[in-house]
């Protein structure tokens, strides 16, 4: 949307620059980046999750875009530009018109035809390549765009971090072999590392599951931040993953030849897992060790809505010391959506006795459940188990009767599930799946995501090419995104203090903030001359030339705006010196005749 000119000098006078800073924090801005971008006059809110860019914000945005563009061009990416307003049909063909649910902005044109504001462009890229290309000789191909996207978020938050209109760089690779896709993926991964390094942004690459996007290999680039929406894990040994992607290490099966037979017992007054464990240890102690909450099998009832609209009741069994993590559950079930079962779901399954649900009526065990009310038989609800529930593990769980539990129920002997599911929370201290030590949890802002989409979209939309043997083969694709506006917010989030923003030099709206303080004409004349000298040397300068503004206000504004170098022309001028200091560093006195040379050299070093 905007062009950045890396090393063309530029003079922005605060007396005329279209900006107003705010002394007070805006009421609705919870996170620092949002608060400071508003206060410093970089953006303004136009509607929930929708922002207007003011000149300073647009300058930063242009620089972020330019770095992204350069690195995409460097790996052979070719820039294209798709519309934001698109017809329904391609999204219908891949099922996403429905799958997106309320996140999609939908509208009708004057002829009542269905349109959408695109949240992502897989379909359009695929169809465009299908339109233009037909042979394996045309491949590999990488095309990209930097474009405005739309998502009707239920809860837009944190300013640019989760908005409803935002800018993304999205690129797509097209290959006719899996090896080609691997190479394209790796090229993007390397380019993303260069992009985030050049932006001056700390990042962690974590394994991810691709969820609704389908496909196989997938990694996210996160900016570690306490305000991030994504929780990720890492081990001292180098493992890192999105929590959704953490595979629980599967324990070895336990021999159960010596295990006692299961026995059902009255368990009055055990409303909680803790009280149940207490009762178990008092009345039915294990010989080897005390029972713990991890020995109870909690069966959680969920209502799952599939893309075709059908609703399924499903039970997830997991150790009683862990909660279901909704994001992991959603990732595991995507594109289906899950919510806790409601009264109507329980009413439809009277065999599920709240608080006392056990495997005997679930999945394979309950294959022909007899409805306790009607006496009729039907299939039991599907039953998915946490990977820790391996054969031989002994459990305390519900006996499907009010007030009773079953003890010493052995997995693989007394029950099995319909499959495994990664739905339990990941906790600090859990072992890394690759054996590289215990996990720690941290939060991050998702700035980039790279996927091996594979053949899903090409298959759905008929993108094939003739291969070396004259045979039609389905093309394999990669999809690679960077949240451009979000990366800008992450930069602000990672680079600020209590006084304001503190941009890395490559993305700052200018490199030098020049302040003239005092009332004498000589101050403004000297400052003007320094400003002109710096601009002639290719430096971008914000010059605070406002005649009637106090030094205090000028300094506060300079710190709020967050340009890397501050130059102050004021009292020292009588002694022939001006002050030079980094945004958050120590001041130096520099001779007025040397200051242009001195500062230009510093800028050169900052941008090196």
Q: What is the contact surface with its own copies in residues (CB under 8 A)?
A: 1-4, 16-20, 41, 44, 46-47, 50-55, 58, 61-62, 65-66, 69, 76, 78-87, 102-103, 105-107, 109-110, 115, 117, 124, 128, 131-133, 141, 143, 146-148, 150, 152, 154, 164-165
CB of 303 to its own copies, least distance (A): 21
CB of 313 to its own copies, least distance (A): 26
CB of 100 to its own copies, least distance (A): 11
CB of 104 to its own copies, least distance (A): 9
Contact present, 426 and 243 (Cβ < 8 Å): yes
Closer residue to its own copies, CB minimum distance, 132 or 428: 132
Residue 68: both structure tokens together: 């992204």
Kindly report the CA angle at 282 between 277 and 284, in degrees rounded to 5? 80
Nearest to 72 by CA among 504, 486, 451, 482: 482
CB of 132 to its own copies, least distance (A): 4
Give the single-character DSSP code of 296.
B
Closer residue to its own copies, CB minimum distance, 156 or 398: 156
Closer residue to its own copies, CB minimum distance, 67 or 353: 67
End-to-end CA distance of the chain: 26
CB of 376 to its own copies, least distance (A): 40
Q: Other CB atoms closer than 10 Å to residue 462's CB: what's the count?
A: 12
Closer residue to its own copies, CB minimum distance, 18 or 258: 18
Closer residue to its own copies, CB minimum distance, 253 or 553: 553
Closer residue to its own copies, CB minimum distance, 42 or 291: 42
Residue 158: both structure tokens together: 């944190």
CB of 544 to its own copies, least distance (A): 16
- Cα separation, 24 vs 26, in Å, equals 6
- Cα separation, 559 vs 566, in Å, equals 9
Peptide bond into 140 cis (omega under 30): yes
Closer residue to its own copies, CB minimum distance, 44 or 189: 44
Residue 376: both structure tokens together: 């009729």
Residue 534: both structure tokens together: 């710096």
Contact present, 279 and 271 (Cβ < 8 Å): no
Report the C-alpha dihedral over residues 37, 42, 48, 50, rounded to 10 degrees. -130
- Cα separation, 563 vs 511, in Å, equals 6
Closer residue to its own copies, CB minimum distance, 82 or 97: 82
CB of 506 to its own copies, least distance (A): 16
Kindly report the CA angle at 482 between 228 and 93, in degrees rounded to 5? 110
SS3 527: helix
Give the single-character DSSP code of 336.
S
């Amino acid at each position: 949307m905007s062009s950045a000119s890396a090393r063309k000098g530029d003079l922005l006078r605060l007396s005329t620059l279209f900006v107003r800073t705010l002394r007070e924090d805006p009421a609705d801005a919870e996170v620092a980046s949002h608060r400071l971008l508003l206060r410093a006059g970089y953006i303004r809110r136009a509607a929930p999750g929708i922002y207007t860019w003011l000149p300073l914000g647009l300058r930063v945005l242009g620089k972020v875009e330019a770095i992204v563009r350069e690195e995409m061009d460097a790996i052979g990416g070719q820039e294209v530009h798709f519309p934001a307003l698109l017809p329904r049909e391609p999204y219908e063909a891949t099922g996403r018109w429905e799958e997106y649910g309320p996140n999609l902005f939908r509208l009708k044109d004057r002829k009542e035809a269905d349109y959408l504001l695109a949240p992502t462009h897989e379909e359009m890229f695929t169809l465009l390549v299908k339109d233009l290309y037909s042979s394996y000789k045309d491949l590999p191909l990488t095309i990209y765009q930097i474009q405005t996207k739309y998502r009707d978020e239920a809860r837009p938050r944190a300013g640019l971090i989760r908005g409803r209109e935002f800018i993304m760089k999205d690129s797509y690779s097209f290959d006719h072999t899996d090896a080609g896709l691997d190479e394209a993926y790796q090229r993007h991964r390397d380019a993303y590392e260069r992009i985030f390094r050049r932006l001056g942004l700390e990042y962690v690459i974590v394994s991810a599951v691709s969820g609704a996007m389908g496909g196989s290999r997938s990694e996210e680039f996160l900016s570690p931040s306490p305000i991030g929406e994504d929780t990720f894990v890492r081990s001292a040994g180098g493992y890192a993953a999105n929590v959704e992607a953490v595979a629980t290490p599967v324990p070895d099966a336990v021999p159960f030849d010596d295990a006692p037979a299961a026995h059902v017992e009255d368990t009055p007054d055990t409303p909680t897992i803790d009280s149940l464990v207490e009762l178990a240890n008092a009345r039915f102690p294990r010989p080897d060790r005390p029972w713990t909450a991890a020995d109870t099998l909690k069966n959680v009832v969920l209502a799952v809505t599939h893309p075709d609209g059908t609703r399924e009741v499903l039970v997830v069994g997991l150790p009683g010391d862990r909660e279901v993590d909704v994001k992991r559950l959603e990732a595991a079930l995507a594109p289906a959506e899950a919510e806790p079962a409601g009264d109507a779901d329980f009413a439809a399954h009277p065999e599920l006795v709240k608080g006392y649900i056990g495997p005997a009526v679930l999945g394979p065990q309950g294959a022909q459940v007899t409805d306790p009310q009607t006496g009729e038989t039907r299939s039991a609800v599907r039953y998915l188990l946490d990977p820790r529930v391996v054969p031989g593990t002994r459990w305390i769980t519900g006996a499907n009767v009010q007030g009773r539990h079953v003890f010493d129920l052995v997995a693989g002997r007394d029950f099995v599930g319909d499959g495994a599911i990664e739905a339990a929370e990941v906790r600090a201290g859990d072992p890394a799946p690759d054996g590289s030590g215990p996990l720690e949890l941290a939060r991050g802002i998702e700035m980039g995501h790279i996927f091996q989409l594979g053949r899903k979209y090409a298959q759905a939309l008929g993108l094939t090419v003739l291969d070396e043997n004259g045979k039609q083969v389905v093309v394999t694709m990669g999809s690679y995104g960077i949240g451009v506006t979000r990366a800008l917010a992450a930069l602000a989030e990672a680079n600020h203090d209590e006084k304001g923003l503190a941009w890395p030099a490559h993305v700052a709206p200018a490199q030098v903030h020049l302040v003239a303080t005092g009332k004498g004409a000589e101050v403004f004349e000297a400052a003007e001359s320094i400003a002109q000298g710096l601009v002639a040397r290719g430096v971008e300068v914000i010059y605070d030339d406002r005649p009637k503004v106090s030094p205090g206000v000028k300094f506060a504004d300079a710190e709020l705006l967050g340009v890397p170098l501050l130059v102050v022309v004021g009292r020292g001028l009588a002694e022939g010196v001006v002050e030079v200091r980094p945004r958050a560093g120590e001041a130096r006195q520099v001779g007025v005749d040397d200051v242009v040379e001195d500062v230009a050299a510093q800028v050169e070093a900052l941008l090196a």
